[in-house]
Structure formats: C-alpha cells, structure tokens
Structure 1
Amino acid sequence: MLDPDRLFPTDPAVRSLARDLYEGVRDLPIISPHGHTDPRWFAEDAAFSDPAALFVTPDHYVFRMLHSQGIALQDLGVPRADGSAVEGDPRKIWRLFAANYHLFRATPSQLWLDHAFQQVFGVTDDLNADTADAIYDHIAERLADDAYRPRALFDRFGIEALSTTESALDDLHWHKLIRASGWGGNVITTYRPDAVIDPEFEGFADNLAQFGKLTGEDTTTWQGYLAAHRTRRAYFKQVGGATASDHGHPSARTEDLPQPEAEALYGKARNGSCTPEEADRFRGHMLTEMARMSIDDGLVLQIHAGSIRNHNAQVMQEFGRDKGYDIPARTDYVKALRPLLNAVGGRSDIRVIAFTLDESSYARELAPLAGVYPALRLGPPWWFHDSYEGMMRFRRMTTETAGFYNTVGFNDDTRAFCSIPARHDVARRVDCAYLAELVATGRLGRSDAGDVAHDLSYRLAKQAYGL
C-alpha cells in the first residue's frame, strides 16, 4: 500500500513540517495547463474499453520500459503505422505487463500507477503475474460503471482546467463537440504548429498546402504563410479556447532575421532544399515570429527544446511518432534564446515558458535568464525529470537565482488520464518537502511556506496560462 508519508524528508521534525504543508494543498483543484490526453474521451464520454487500453498501450512511459527489456511493441498492442496486425487481446497484454511490473520499481511510473490502482480503482493487491487476472477483472468491472467514464473521473479528480495539444492542421472536431455538449468541464486545446514550422517534419510541403486550404491564405508566399498562422491561432482560441502554443524543437535556437532573409529561407523550406542548418535556422526564426504573434493574441509561448525525438529510425518507420524514443541532448539557452529575448524578453505583456531536458542548464543558464527577463518563465521538470529526484534538483538549482515566482508551478504533460492526480500529488509532496527544509534551516518563514505551497500547487499555473 502507498506510504502516506511518501516523498517526505526522513528527519521527524522536517517530515512533520512537510506533512502539515501538504495537508494545506493536497485537495486543491488541479490545473493541468499542458498535456496530451485525447479530447475525444471527453467529447464522447464513452467507457474506457479495458485496463490494457487505459494503462499500457497509450503510455510511452510504460511501453518504453517494457521495450527496453526486449518486449516487442506490437505485443503490447501499440498500433503500427501501416495498420498491420498487433496483439489485440487486452488480457494477454495486461498479463505481459503484470509479469514485468517489477521493472518499474523505484521509478516515477510505479508511483503513478500504484496511485491510480489504489486511489482510483481500489486495488489492494500488488500487481504481478499471480494477481494479473484478478486485478484486470477488478478494473474492468469498475470501467463498466458510469462513475468511471471520462467526465465523471474528470470531476472526481478535481480538475479545474485541462489543456490538450493539437496540431495546427487539426480541425478541433472533438473540442467542438465538447463545447456543444453542455458539459461544464473546462477542456481546452493548445496550438502545436510543428508540422508547418519544421522543414524536416515528414510531408512538410503537403502540410503547407493543407495549411493554406484550412485558412484560405496563400502559403506559397511568406506573408500568406504568416497570415495563415495568425488565422489558425485565432481559430484555436475561438473554437478550442486555447491560451497557449507549444513548440517541440530539437534545439532552443531562436533567430530574428530581416524580412528578405526570412522570406528567402521560407522559400527553401517550402521547396525542400533546406540544409539541416537552414532548417534549424528557420525553426529558430519562427519561434520569434510566434512570440510577436503572442503579443497580439495573448497565447503563451511554450518551448520544449532539447529532445532528440524518434531516435530509433526503425521504430519511427514502423510505429510512427511518440513511441518513447525521445532522448535528451545538451542544450544551449544563453546564446540560443538571445535573439528572441532581445526582441520581446523585456516585455511584461508576453509569457515565454522554457522547458529543458538538460539539467546542467538549470543553474548556469535558465535560472539566471528567468531571473532577469520579464517575459521568461521556467517550465517544470519534464519527461525524464518529472520525478522526485528531478523535481528536487530543479528546486535546488533554480530557486536561489530565479525564486519561485519566475516558475509556473506544475503541469503533468501526460497522455495517461488516470496518472493526472498521481502526478500532481507527487509534485505537491516534493514541493512541500523542499519548503519544509527551507523552514527547518531558517531560510523561509512558516507562513510564507504555506503561501508558496499554495502558489506552486495552484495559483502560478493558473496565472501563467491565463486559465
């Protein structure tokens, strides 16, 4: 069973402080301003089909670990890009998962999964090969109950606002249905334009043509291309309630090119003649263009940089994007963000949130940048670092330079719906543990610590994303 004092310091006095702080924030509403849950769940409110489809097949944290031990993705039901056959028996997938559940010991995934099993579904036994069928049947029985449909769980989890992420080419069909349904849950979209910004994205030329058709703009011209972004961003705000854009780039590079140079570079991107260097340069310039558009339309600019995505070419070819093969890389921020920050960083009417997978940049680069530029905030630990150790390292390496109020609280960035309350619970526990240490060592007053705990758990995310 879950330890009620998990993640708190071992010193009894400090643990007591952490526990007290946590009790003040544990039941605050959840603000989930960035993630990848499927809006279709909330539009249709259909029952989740089975435990494997809920916990295994869609979660790249889960199947990444299993695959690292030689388990084939198709045996876990992960769909192939060409639609060819994969394992379709959910009980067989679940048994394979359960027999290898020991692989997750001491990982964040185990904390999240155990929390969901116990707190959401009332499972009281440890998951293993012997208990696999009984736990499968227990969860399946719950999933057949209306209380476990997506909207009911949304309310039960205490979610005040949840943002999904859609491509710039998405018609937002599911968000339209959510809004037309009369349901009161606040589910909004996020504008993700990588498919029409990254010249190295598959099908880039075709994507630009579709972009033009969707917007009625002439994307064969530079000005028409920029106008298409403005039109599409407005559509995402109006139809999907978007408050942010999100950009997943391999580097944090930004550029602020003269218009003739940007126009010429776009021409090369459009006809497929960009070199890798030119493609990176174009992506960098478009971040600055997106920042300028944010001044006009208010969308928060999120930069998720430094992930070498789809590292395994064969997995990318067979199974498509986002199958767990993202790998962190060294990332420069001081030089890379300078053009964008020189263009807009001194303004207080724009919010740029920088995320990193390169922890070495926290104290050396990101905290000093966020500690001086009004537009810049630090996103919470992401992907490989949304864990106890990762969150604690983030606080220790950024707080003394950037403070708490140049960060944006927590976001779960998840595809796994039932992990949302677990991830926020972990973040609240870690922050309370860190704050208790500050109080115990005389660096923060007890009443101030309570205020900060509330801000980190709730207010900062809500404020930063305009929710």
Structure 2
Amino acid sequence: MSRTTFIDDNFLLHNRWAEELYHSYAAPMPIIDYHCHLSPKKIAQNHNFRNLTEAWISGDHYKWRAMRTSGISEECITGGATDKEKFLAWAKTVPSTLRNPLYHWTHLELKRYFDIGDLLNEKTALEIYEKATSELRTHSYGCQQLIKRMNVERICTTEDPTDSLEYHKELKLHGFGVKVSTSFRPDRAILISKSDYGHYLDLLGQVSGIEILTYRDLKEALASRISYFHENGCRLSDHGLNYVPYMESTNADVEAIFKKRKKGQSLTKKQKEKFQTALLVFLGKQYHAKGWVQQFHLGALRNTNTRMAKYLGPDTGWDSIGDFQQASTLAKYLDTLDKQGKLTKTILYNLNPADNEVMASMIGNFNDGKIKGKFQFGSAWWFLDQKEGIIKQLNALSSMGLLSCFIGMLTDSRSFLSYPRHEYFRRVLCNLLGGEMKCGELPNDMELVGGMVSDICYNNANRYFDF
C-alpha cells in the first residue's frame, strides 16, 4: 500500500504562527472531557473490543447516516451482516465523505490509535481492519489504555438519576490513572409526556426508596438522587431539551398536572410546560445548593423518521437540527433563579447555528462578577462539531463575550476512539488565531495568544469545575 502524508504534524495549520500555537501551547495540555457518553462499565472492566467494527462503527450514528446516504443497505449497517462485512461497507463509504468531518476524524483516529497513515478505502480496508483488530485484542488496547494514550486527565460520563453508579464506585476504588466521574441527566423525569413516564417513576421510586404518588414525592426522590450522585463525585447536571420552557404556575397547578399524568391522561402543551418549568426551577435550586454546573443541550429535532426510530430505537441516526425559539423562555428561566440568588454556573450548547449569537449574548446577561466565566456558550456539538461549526461558535463567542474565558472542547461521544476530536478542535482554534496573528489582527505576541490557547484547551476548565 502506498503511504500518505495527509495527516501530518501540521494538519489544518496553515502558517508558522498557527504551528507554534498548536505545538507549544495546545498539544501539550491534558484533556478534561467534561461531557461524554462513554460506558463506565467498559472503562471499569477495561473492555477489549473484539474487532475494529465493534470499537469504531457499532453505535456510531454519524457513520451510519453517511453509509445510508452512500447507498449502503441497513443489513450492512445495523443488520445481520458480519462485523467484517460492516467494516468493508464503511471503508467503501469513506472516499465519499470528502469534505464531511468524518473524513478528517476517520484518518486522525486511525493515525493516533493505530499509527495507520493509509487512506481508508476498499483497497486498503482489509489490511487496516486486520491490523487494528489485532491490536485491539491486546491488553495495551483495552478501554483504559485507549483513554490514557490520548493524555486524558478526567472524564465525566452521563447517567440517569436511577443509575447505581456501581462502576464509578469501582473506578474510584481501584482507578487507572484517569479520574472518572459523572453528570446527572434527569430528562426522563422532566419529559412528562413520554409514553413510559409511569414506568420511569416506578424505577425512580425504587432506587430512591420513595413511593412517587405526588409531585412533592417526585421532588423528594430527585433531591435524594442528587445527594447520592454528589456523594459519589458528581458535580454536573445535563439536560437534552428542544428548548428551555417557561410557564408560570402554582404548586396546586403542578400537583394537579402530575396527578392527571399519573392517571394516564394526556396533557396540553401549556400543562406540559408548566410542569417542566416548575421541575427545572426546582432542579436548578438543587444544583446551586450543591455547587454544581448545569448544562443545557438545546435545539435537536429527534427521531424524525418515526418508522426507523421505532424499528432501531433512539440515537440511531434519525435526528436533525431544530428551529425552536430559544431566547425568551430561556431568559425567563435563568432570571427566575437569578432573582432568588439560586443561579449556578451554567453551560448552554446550541445546535442551530442561526442561534449562535443568541446564546453568545445570553451568557453575558447573568455573569455576576463573582466567578470567572460563570456562564459559558458551550462548544459546538453534534452536527456543528466540525471545522466550520467550530469556527462559527468561536467567532460568535469572541464577538459577544470573552473567548479567553472559554472552557473549550468536549467529545459528547459514545466512542472510545473519539479523543482525537480534541486535537481537531485545538488545531482549528490555533489556525484561526494564527491566521489573525499573521495578518496583524492579533498582536505578534506568542506568549499572550499562546497563554489564551492553553487556557481554552485546559486551564479554564480545570479551574471552572469543582471536582
């Protein structure tokens, strides 16, 4: 096979300023992955993947969407084809992903984890598959080793309030050199109209030891789980919502809405938003009391292909960017907590690029001078986690706020091979700033600009989170 220098030392770095910023100030910094969806069980058990397909393609709806678009049958994506057949189908797809971020990520990951510099295609597929699979089956390629080889210092996974955190406890007891904690994701308690809501309340009641008959019971159960998560090292919450609702109500209103839903009756949009607002305000106060950071991932339009979502389940590639109204109700929610002195550190993630400036300006409304960068416009995520999306987020934040206070990148990934995305982000950041140094829009002061790069890549997050 012919070798390629596609992913070389200066990949995405287009001038000497960018190169120095990256190699001297960004690359040496450890990684704090403060939001991801890695399996704590696989980390604790130091799972070895049986082959490259299991490690790299199974569960990766980014790749699945590309394969479907390229004309690959579902049989070779999520169906009954063998793992090798699925990998060969992915390899056939890769040349068609030129200019999609998957092309960059694919070759970065092959290079960083397996030192494979060949372009992946039908001709190179089998040799790449066999080499990577052979290495993944060795002890030096267990999940813990995959994490450590990327200079990761800390990971925050994401768990439902009903989770036992048994594997986090195991990791705390035994460890492996990388600290692993979690974030508290109560979406299933908030989304009251979901068909399985009654079943979920039963689960939450079981783990909390509280029979949930009333809204007051629900709050007590969630407060109990927040305390349990806190005792086990959790310092963040996370919410995946279309938008943050705001609809005022009384306690009697919310109790009546909750009882109606407990009886299996449907709710109006107004009733849902009254309930969700009340519960989010309650949770926000709990987070503030614990000194947690609250995160909001906003703007995803999920499971749009109902036929396939029903067949394969959620998170299988049928989601897109939504065009929800964000600003007014979000501001009212934050203001309600602020007026009561209960507004904790907050990160807002936006999926619709049309709302970048909305979010970048929103964070400035509630900074109070007590905590540096208390409010954060979070890193570009999901469909925006690519070069153009990252640059747009950085530009909006720079224009409306202070880039120097930004806490930087996270993976938001389920894949143990996704940590080169931190490198990707760092290279894009350094090239953006290096280009402005070259043309005189930023001072030719490497220590000044480089110090900001190091802060964004590591120092700011290290100070921001109270781990």
TM above 0.5, one fold? Answer: yes
% identical aligned pairs: 25
Distance in 1, matches of 2:295 and 2:246, equals 13
Q: Structure 1 residue 306 and structure 2 residue 306: aligned?
A: no
> For residues 39 and 270 of structure 1, do their structure 2 counterparts lie closer, same or farther at Cα, with a shift above 3 Å needed?
same
Count of aligned positions: 451
Q: Structure 1 residue 7 and structure 2 residue 12: aligned?
A: yes
Distance in 2, matches of 1:190 and 1:69, equals 36
Distance in 2, matches of 1:267 and 1:437, equals 59
Match of 1:130 among 119, 123, 133: 123
Counterpart in the other structure of 1:454: 454
Distance in 2, matches of 1:238 and 1:74, equals 45
CA positional deviation for 1:63:
0.9
Counterpart in the other structure of 2:371: none
Counterpart in the other structure of 1:204: 197
Distance in 2, matches of 1:225 and 1:304, equals 23
Structure 1 residue matching 2:398: 3-state secondary structure? helix
> For residues 390 and 196 of structure 1, do their structure 2 counterparts lie closer, same or farther at Cα, with a shift above 3 Å needed?
same
The residue type equivalent to 2:241 in the other structure is H
CA positional deviation for 1:303:
0.7
Q: Structure 1 residue 408 and structure 2 residue 400: aligned?
A: no
Counterpart in the other structure of 1:189: 182
Which runs of 5 or more residues in structure 2 are unaligned? 1-5, 368-373
Match of 2:352 among 351, 354, 358: 358
Distance in 2, matches of 1:387 and 1:149, equals 28
Counterpart in the other structure of 1:244: 236
Most deviating of 54-63 and 258-267: 258-267
The residue type equivalent to 1:389 in the other structure is E
Aligned 8 A contact 2:31 2:422 in 1:
yes
Counterpart in the other structure of 2:366: 373
Aligned 8 A contact 1:254 1:284 in 2:
yes
> For residues 427 and 126 of structure 1, do their structure 2 counterparts lie closer, same or farther at Cα, with a shift above 3 Å needed?
same
Aligned 8 A contact 2:407 2:457 in 1:
no
Counterpart in the other structure of 1:385: 384
Q: Deviations over 1:172-217 (max 9, x none)?
A: 2322332333433211111111112101334111101211111012
CA positional deviation for 1:5:
2.5
Distance in 1, matches of 2:258 and 2:443, equals 51
Considering only aligned residues, what root-mean-square deviation do their CA atoms show, in Å?
A: 2.0
CA positional deviation for 1:33:
0.3
Q: Deviations over 1:280-338 (max 9, x none)?
A: 44333322222111111122111111111111111221111111212111233320212
The residue type equivalent to 1:207 in the other structure is Y
Aligned 8 A contact 2:288 2:343 in 1:
yes
The residue type equivalent to 2:418 in the other structure is S
Q: Structure 1 residue 61 and structure 2 residue 62: aligned?
A: yes
Aligned 8 A contact 1:371 1:406 in 2:
no
Counterpart in the other structure of 2:416: 417
The residue type equivalent to 2:430 in the other structure is C
> For residues 437 and 284 of structure 1, do their structure 2 counterparts lie closer, same or farther at Cα, with a shift above 3 Å needed?
farther
Aligned 8 A contact 1:252 1:306 in 2:
no
The residue type equivalent to 2:279 in the other structure is M
Q: Deviations over 1:35-71 (max 9, x none)?
A: 1111122111121111101111121111121123343
Distance in 1, matches of 2:71 and 2:189, equals 35
The residue type equivalent to 1:64 in the other structure is R
Which runs of 5 or more residues in structure 1 are unaligned? 10-14, 79-85
- Residue correspondence of structure 1 range 157-196 to structure 2 within 5 A: 157-196=150-189
The residue type equivalent to 1:395 in the other structure is L
The residue type equivalent to 2:228 in the other structure is Y
Counterpart in the other structure of 1:258: 250
The residue type equivalent to 1:48 in the other structure is F
Counterpart in the other structure of 1:464: 464
Match of 2:424 among 408, 423, 426: 426
> For residues 408 and 260 of structure 1, do their structure 2 counterparts lie closer, same or farther at Cα, with a shift above 3 Å needed?
farther
> For residues 260 and 339 of structure 1, do their structure 2 counterparts lie closer, same or farther at Cα, with a shift above 3 Å needed?
farther
Match of 1:112 among 99, 105, 114: 105
Match of 2:328 among 312, 335, 347: 335
CA positional deviation for 1:17:
0.9
Q: Structure 1 residue 320 and structure 2 residue 321: aligned?
A: no
